[in-house]
Amino acid sequence: MRFEPATDLHQRLFSEWNRVSRLEERTCRPLVKGKQAPTINQIVTLAFFVDSVNEPVGRFVYFDMNPRNRSAEFGYIVHPNFRQRGIGYRMLALALHQLFKTTDLNKLYCQTGGFNTASIALLEKLKFHRDGILREHHELDGKLWDDLIYSILRREWEHHHS
């Protein structure tokens, strides 16, 4: 076996191969008029507060919304001075409850470094499913760590948090 850079002729051949199957079978990404469309690039950021503090104590952001499979990725952070007080749990519970209540999203997912034991514990406490591991995917201080992917489906959320 050998390989070489693809030529224009090769690209035309590859396009013909694609006609044998439907695009819907080759991608889970959004489609428009039979062509792959970009995800919705909107990034929504929510600031979270507690009664006794004027500044935010947490941030929740969701993005990479895919209307075809009704999913979105999210990330979060708690102000360092307010960690280990249950704020992350309350923040995620409130944000996910609101998203599942006001959108048609079926799945929310996130990625966290294997070194982030607090985040892993929080996601597991909220009954997220560990979907997979991206091996040695996250460089930190010269070391490569695994990244863990977690998700929760609407029906799982409703079952555990209704």
Query: What's the pTM value of the predicted model, to 2 decimals?
Result: 0.84
| Percent of the chain at pLDDT exceeding 90 | 72
Residue 147 has a pLDDT of 97
Asked whether residue 1 is domain-assigned, the answer is no
d(CA 76, CA 82): 14
The answer to whether residue 108 scores a pLDDT higher than 80 is yes
Whether 7 maps to a domain, the answer reads no
* Secondary structure (DSSP) of 23-85: HHHH--S-EETTEE---B---EEEEE--TT-SS-SEEEEEEEEETTTTEEEEEEEE-GGGTTS
Q: Which amino acid is at 93?
A: A
Domain assignment present for residue 16? The answer is no
In a domain, 94, yes or no: yes
Rounded percentage of the chain residues whose pLDDT exceeds 70: 98
* Residue 29 within a domain: no
Tokens 């919705």 locate to 40
Total domain count for the chain? Answer: 1
- Domain of 84, CATH number, reads 3.40.630.30
Lowest mean pLDDT among 25-39, 82-96, 104-118: 25-39
Residue 148 belongs to a domain: yes
Is the model's pLDDT at 104 over the cut of 90?
yes
Domain span at residue 72 reads: 38-161
- Helix crossing, 87-102 with 154-161: angle to 10°? 120
How many other CB atoms sit within 10 Å of the CB of residue 119? 20
157 within domain boundaries: yes
| pLDDT of 3 higher than 90 | no
In three-state secondary structure terms, 149 is: strand
Domain presence at residue 147: yes
| Angle, helices 87-102/117-125, rounded to nearest 10 degrees | 50
